[in-house]
Chain A
Amino acid sequence: GESVGLHLPTLSVQEGDNSIINCAYSNSASDYFIWYKQESGKGPQFIIDIRSNMDKRQGQRVTVLLNKTVKHLSLQIAATQPGDSAVYFCAERTPQGAQKLVFGQGTRLTINP
């Protein structure tokens, strides 16, 4: 079946630096991608999403880039803050998925003071 994977399971950055979290997806026909943030002991929270007809989308301090040629998705967080420490998941909607999402394993982001 389809799977969404991540290049790095953990990432440490200095406070104030920019961070980039990567995600590889396997289904070239997936048409929608989404990033979630999960803090310890909580449910996932929506960060940003992007449709396959776009290459880039920006939010507040976050940018998602989509490279369909190599089936790669990234989340950029600008000027990281201690509150950004969390696990970040990408997910994709596959053509067979209706309203279902397929989640990756997650990357733990740690912000060092």
Chain B
Amino acid sequence: NAGVTQTPKFQVLKTGQSMTLQCAQDMNHNSMYWYRQDPGMGLRLIYYSASEGTTDKGEVPNGYNVSRLNKREFSLRLESAAPSQTSVYFCASSEWQGGSYEQYFGPGTRLTVT
């Protein structure tokens, strides 16, 4: 049981390049999330998917797109990377049960845009 996995772990892009961050979970959770974390800051929600087939914008969606490929996988795409997108990206998943909204996080992808 790997939990939430993310690939790649590190990535360097030039301004204007595109890339897709991959996320998968093996806990059969319905909800999945993408966050970014900037130095000294908390987590800010980019996009989330309440269930397979649905996606919604979070607090900072500009410059990103997402795809909920199936129940397990939720990808984040940067179409034209900008230096302001340099950050650490975390994927998470959750399933409401027993009154808990705990989200399970992946190890993160560290992205640098030059």
| B interface residues, Cβ below 8 angstroms from A | 4, 31, 33, 35, 40-45, 48, 50, 58-59, 90, 92, 94, 96, 99-108
Distance to closest chain A CB from B29 (angstroms): 10
Known: A43-B107, A106-B41. 16 other contacts (CB 8 A): A32-B101, A36-B105, A43-B105, A43-B106, A43-B108, A44-B43, A44-B90, A49-B102, A89-B42, A93-B101, A99-B50, A99-B96, A100-B33, A103-B35, A104-B42, A106-B42
Across-interface contacts of A103 in B (CB, < 8 A): 35, 42-44
Most buried by B among A41, A44, A46, A106: A44
- A72-106, CB < 8 A from B: 89, 93, 98-101, 103-106
> Is A45 a contact partner of B43 (Cβ separation < 8 A)?
no
| A interface residues, Cβ below 8 angstroms from B | 1, 4, 9, 32, 34, 36, 41-46, 49, 51, 89, 93, 98-101, 103-106
CB < 8 Å A-B pair total? 55
Please report the C-alpha to C-alpha distance between residue A84 and residue B11 in the assembled complex, in whole angstroms: 29
> Is A46 a contact partner of B102 (Cβ separation < 8 A)?
yes
- The closest CB in chain A to the CB of B96 belongs to A99
Across-interface contacts of B42 in A (CB, < 8 A): 4, 89, 103-106
